[in-house]
Every structure is written in structure tokens, then in C-alpha cells.
Structure 1
């Protein structure tokens, strides 16, 4: 299995690769994770990222024409690279025997000819250790968290910008956990901290720190402008933490079109309105909590493992059929 993110990386692709390694090994497979491929033999190849892994995919297909190939599509593959770098990205999709999409609407967002190869896989999260979430009415603050590295795709400062528009008596405080993608985003985050008393930038947190942040928050904001299916949404649902999300397909494909907590992507004023609604209307907040509780069962490790096995089986079947058609 190849991922662009090296050992120790906090990138989502690395976390996905290591979680899949664990799930596949629990099912009896032997899995090696690499960041570069040089033609080594294997029984099956999984590539995370169609565009970034294009050279490895091409080499594998040339070196091992009889072996099955699974390509997992990221948000940037689907919503950027298939348009900016169509030759490499679409060639990877074409070479794959099975494609993995991480939300239920991926099929609407890739070329129709590839949909027959698509397996929908919802990334899983462990159910957290039970934390007693403070009631919003008894807390000094109404805490809102944003989790993910600060970068353009995540629209990472949309929530604190929306918090600036709230009434003076609002108790909302926004905490962002994640490293800055580059010096520009670091500067933006530091400036927001200086100018916005409702904002805290926590930097990168370890797994326990993220769990604690979720347990101490009343809401999670997922503000991305493009998303392949964020694992933090799975984590929030498993933790019973209501989500406010931009209305992109990467979010609606996880939470469902009937979810009540959307706002128009990039619309600061609309996000401020939803945040104020959640803070001031206990019934609305409880509606969101009930909805994420209902969704939690689709984000279990058992279901993710089942979807992985489905993708592997489809790849084996399609590769066998491709070879039979040539004989």
C-alpha cells in the first residue's frame, strides 16, 4: 500500500493507510506501507491518491500486469486534480480494478465510466472512552472545535471569522487543532488569535488531546471547500458531537442530505447564524446530536473492514476478468 505521507506524518492519508493496514492484517492479510514503489512484487496493490501516486500506479501496472490494483480517491483527486491534471489522475482511475470513494456521493463526481469500479467506504472511528459532556447551559463558554491542518481546502478560519459576527453576549469560543500547512497559514492563524478574543489556536494535538477537545466541545465545525470524506466527521459522530458542516458533497455524502446542520460553503454570515442558532436553541442542538447518534453505526471499524474486503474482492474479480478477456 502506497501513501504520499511518510511515517510519523499527521496527514490524513497516513492515518488512513495505517488504519487500513491494521484492519487488513486483522483479516489475515500481510500489508506493507511504502511511500515509494520500485517494482517490488506483491499480490495486490493499494494506492492512496490517484494523482500523487500516479507514477507508482503506472509502474505497478507495467511490472505486474496480472495483479489487482485498488486506488483510493482523495478529495483533491475528485475535486481538483481530475481537472487540473486529467491525464495522470484519469489514467490512475482507468488503471485501477477497483476504486474506493470515502463518501456516498463520489459516484456523482467522477466520470460515469468509472462508477462500475467504485466501492463506497466510510472511514471508521473507535467509540471514545465515555466522557461526561458539560451541559452548554452550565458552562462558562459554548465551545466549538475545528480539527484539521490549516489550509485552503479546509477553509480553516471560517469558524472564528463567523464568531466575530456573533452578538456581544454570545458565549461561543472557537478552538482550532492542527498545524499550519505553510508560513502563510501560520501568519493568518496568529493574526486571528491576536485580533479575535473568541479564537484559540491549539496547534497539532495527539489522539488523546483530540478526544478531550471533542469531549469538551458542544459543536464541531467542518468548513471545507473540498473534501473526500473527512475522518473527523466519523470521529464526531461516534463521539456524539454535533457537526456544523459546509454543504459540499464530501460532507453531505457522510451526514446525509437531510442533516440539519449545513451552511452554504464559504458563507461566513450563514455560518454565524447557524452557530447562534445552536447556542441559543437547545432543541436544535439536541436535534443535531440525535442525528449524529443515528449516523454513528455506519462509521464502525467492522463496517470499514467489510468495505475494504469488498474493494479487494472486486479488484481480484475484475483483474481476473480482464485477463480472461485477453486469453
Structure 2
């Protein structure tokens, strides 16, 4: 909350859910009261479809502390009016180990500035990934673990940067290797999956049992937009663990270790609304890939999973 620059008398709403655990409700309210903030607690039935009766409280706040990880588009809409949002759902052990620092923001914003200045992104890997996208038509976003600026949406903990490619520009091959991670399944891949990208979409999914499962998952929605290439970026967290899924119950974690892992490449599928696009999709996969190299206009940001840009490396 200090990193999020909570001020005395600032209006802050803590958002909880009737059906959720809300495990940080009491500590969030206590900490915010201790900082002198004007705190309200709002509990909703479905955080992904927030009732209209709750919107005046959210709209009057300067900061929303979201304990539900709401996916209701109204949160982003309120952000355009200046609402700061900070999501906190990970376990206490993860929050403590990955506790953000002020310096994380500078590293992540440097990466974001590099993306905004680039026209192309190419990604390769020893496993066989080799694809390229055009950039510039859509925006991206970044996370550094706190929300200190008007309109900024973030999640504690975690640090990474993502962007959206120009529509229909993704071409090439993505290889999801054994040991890479699939979200929201929260599982490690056991057998390699090869994706053939054509005109911004996954045109073919090849491989063994995991490829068949991925194809079955996407086919089940009977919507071609679930095969679209969505946001792309790389992880910049200092203290994440790639093996974290082995040590927690799936229901207890959200997956910031994998998504933000230092030097990973995050490939995703589905909608591009968060980048300013118009594509909607009922399914969204986040797929952190290990050991990739990422180039912006030919300049390396990450080589074989190692962040090489000095301004983005942790001290």
C-alpha cells in the first residue's frame, strides 16, 4: 500500500466476493485504516459481473484493492477515469517471496518503452519456436506489483510486460516444450506442442497427448477467435519460481510465478480488448515458455531465457 502511494483521507474500496475466501479482507482494511485512508468494503455475488448497485462506490474511489481478481470490463472502464486497481489473490508465501520494490517499476517501464518504440517482435527458441509479429497498432500493458498512478491496473506480486500484435500479423511456429506452463489449467506440459501461426491465428496444433488436449479445449468453444494470437511479452520478476505449481494446491494460487518468471516468454491466445482491440473470445490461454529469445526490431531483449537488456535486469 505504501508503494501504491495511499494518502490520508483517500477513498479506497476493498472488493470481496460472497463465494470467495476473501483471505486478505481484514488485513487490507486494517492496513488502510492505519494509513488514514477512507476505507469501504464491497462484497459482491459475482466479481466478474459486478452489480450496478456497487458501481457508485467503485466509481467514487481513488484505489480499488481487488481480492477477487475481477474480470468485469467495468474495472478497466473505471480505470480510464483514473481508478487505480491492485489485485491481491496469491498465497501469503508467494506475496512475501515476490514482494515488489520501487526499482521493479523502472525495469518494467523500460521494457514497455522498448516495445512501444518497436515495429516488429521475433521470438525463437532451441525447441523450435520461430515466429514474428508486427507491432504498433495496439497497445500493451505492464505489471510491477503495485498501483501508484491514476488508471493503472496491477497485481501483487509479479513483474512483466506484454503487448498485442497487429491483427493478422503473427506468422511462424511456436513450440510449447515439455516443462512449459499452461494457464488457466495451471499445469506443466509433458509432451511438446507445435503451433503453426498463419495470419494472426493458430492454423494447426501438432504433437502428442498435450497437443490433443489443447486442441480439444479450444475446439470446445466453437469460436474461431479462441485461436487468435493475443498478448505477448516477457517476465521480469526477481524472486519467482518456475517450479511453484509443484508446491501449491491449484485452488490456492493464480500463477504469478510462471507468468512473471524472469526471462520467460508469455504467449497467449484469444481476445485483444486490453490492448485496445475489438476481438472478443470466450477463452484465453496464458502459456509461459522457458528458454526463448526475444528480439525487438532485431535487438535482443532476452536470449535463451536470460534478460540481456541492462536496464531490465534486477540489481
Is this a same-fold pair by TM over 0.5? no
Which has more helix, going by share of residues? 1
**TM superposition score normalised by structure 2:** 0.31
**TM superposition score normalised by structure 1:** 0.31
The structure with higher relative contact order (CA 8 Å, sep 6+) is 1
Which has more strand, going by share of residues? 2
